[in-house]
Structure 1
Amino acid sequence: MSKKSNIFYSEIYKKLEQKILEVLNGQPDFLSVSTVNSPRAVGDAVQDILAVNFEKIIDNLGLDYSAKFARRAMADLAFKDKDGFYYVVDVKTHRLDTVFNMPNLTSVERLARFYEDDSNYFVILKVDYEVTKTKAIIKKVHFVPIEFLSWKCLTIGALGWGQIQIANSNNIKLIPQNSRKKWMIQLCNNLFEFYPNEISKINERILYFKKVKAFWKKKTE
Structure 2
Amino acid sequence: MNNPIFRADRHLDIQRRVADLINRSPDFLSVNTARSLRAAGDAIEAIIAESFDTIVGDLGTDYSASFARRATADLAFKDREGGYYIVDVKTHRIDTKFNMPNLTSVERLARFYEDDSNYFTLLMVSYAVEGVRATVLDVKFVPIEYLNWSCLTIGALGWGQI
TM-score with structure 1 setting the length? 0.71
Give the whole-Å Cα distance in 2 for the aligned partners of 1:35 and 1:58: 27
For structure 1, the 5+ residue unaligned runs are 165-221
| Equivalent in the alignment of 1:48 | 46
Correspondence 1:35-184 to 2 at 5 A: 35-164=33-162
- Rg: which structure is higher? 1
Calculate the aligned-residue CA RMSD, in Å: 1.0
For structure 2, the 5+ residue unaligned runs are none
User: In the TM superposition, what whole-angstrom CA distance separates every residue of 1:5-25 from its partner, at most 9, and x where no partner exists?
Assistant: 110122101121011100111
Aligned residues: 162
Give the whole-Å Cα distance in 1 for the aligned partners of 2:37 and 2:157: 22
User: In the TM superposition, what whole-angstrom CA distance separates every residue of 1:89-114 from its partner, at most 9, and x where no partner exists?
Assistant: 00010011111210000000000010
Give the whole-Å Cα distance in 1 for the aligned partners of 2:156 and 2:30: 35
Query: What code does the residue aligned with 1:18 have?
Result: R
CA drift of 1:59 comes to: 1.1
Structure 1 segments, 4+ long, off by >4 Å, are: none
Q: Secondary structure at the match of 2:26?
A: coil
Name the one with the larger helix percent: 1
Give the whole-Å Cα distance in 2 for the aligned partners of 1:22 and 1:112: 34
TM-score with structure 2 setting the length? 0.97
Query: What code does the residue aligned with 1:137 have?
Result: T
Give the whole-Å Cα distance in 2 for the aligned partners of 1:81 and 1:11: 14
CA drift of 1:117 comes to: 1.0
